[in-house]
Amino acid sequence: MIVTIDGVAASGKSSVASGVARHLGIPYVSSGLLYRAATLLALEAGTDLSDAPALLALLGAAPLRLEPLPEGNRVVLTSTAALHPERDLTADAHTSAVDAGVSAVAQLPEVREWVNAQLRALTPPFVAEGRDMGTAVFPQAQAKFFLMASPRVRALRRVKERPGDLAEVEAALVARDAKDKAQSAPAADAQIIDTGTLDLAGVIAAVLRGLHQPASSDLS
């Protein structure tokens, strides 16, 4: 079984996917973490974020491993023997610098193919979260969800996790929505959930209810 949970930035996808996966007793897979890790490596190496061949060379030289743990995914730079020991990139992949650069990296078709190959190599069952899980990557998924919330609601949630100026955070989210738009359309058979008036437990409950409902119904 594959369940996909897509949605806009800071709509709570990871927390919801984690909660749903734990309820079902299966792992969840954060596709955004792979885009973030690729961006982090590029920033650290001083690589131009639009230079696809250079980025793919970086990813080839320093293999990343996504660990789809139920309580939270980790992304690890695997050890290249003498060069460096294994390094957990998860925390460093969630900085504002990575937030600002990741959309440029995620726009590159070559990087998307690389991420999608990593994801398709994983063995189901799992809950996959991202932007295009239900459309491009796992169109065969048994159940698909798409999370929405207004920019203000998402900015309020984000400043609780990572303190910052609310107006600036909201503007950055709107800018990232625009940059990520191409790959962020809901699948035709996805159930849309407006999370604006729901807390985390409420969204998880809506997804679990939706697992037993026909597709294309609005659960908000």
Residues that bind ligand DC (CB under 6 A): 9, 13, 31-32, 35-36, 102-103, 106, 130-132, 176, 180, 183
Query: Which of 19, 32 has the CB closer to ligand DC?
Result: 32
Q: To the nearest whole angstrom, how small is the minimum distance from the Cβ of residue 153 to ligand DC?
A: 16
First to last CA, the chain: 24
Q: To the nearest whole angstrom, how small is the minimum distance from the Cβ of residue 68 to ligand DC?
A: 14
What sign has the CA pseudo-torsion 127, 129, 134, 138? Answer: negative
Task: Residue 30: name the closest of 63, 4, 59 by CA.
Answer: 4
Give me the residue label for tokens 């409950």. Answer: 205
Query: Which of 25, 109 has the CB closer to ligand DC?
Result: 109
Q: To the nearest whole angstrom, how small is the minimum distance from the Cβ of residue 176 to ligand DC?
A: 5
The span from the CA of 208 to the CA of 185, in Å, is 22
Angle of the 31-45 helix axis to the 109-120 helix axis, nearest 10: 130
Query: Which of 80, 179 has the CB closer to ligand DC?
Result: 179
Q: To the nearest whole angstrom, how small is the minimum distance from the Cβ of residue 169 to ligand DC?
A: 13
Supply the DSSP symbol for 123: P
Query: Which of 150, 183 has the CB closer to ligand DC?
Result: 183
Amino acid letter for position 147: L
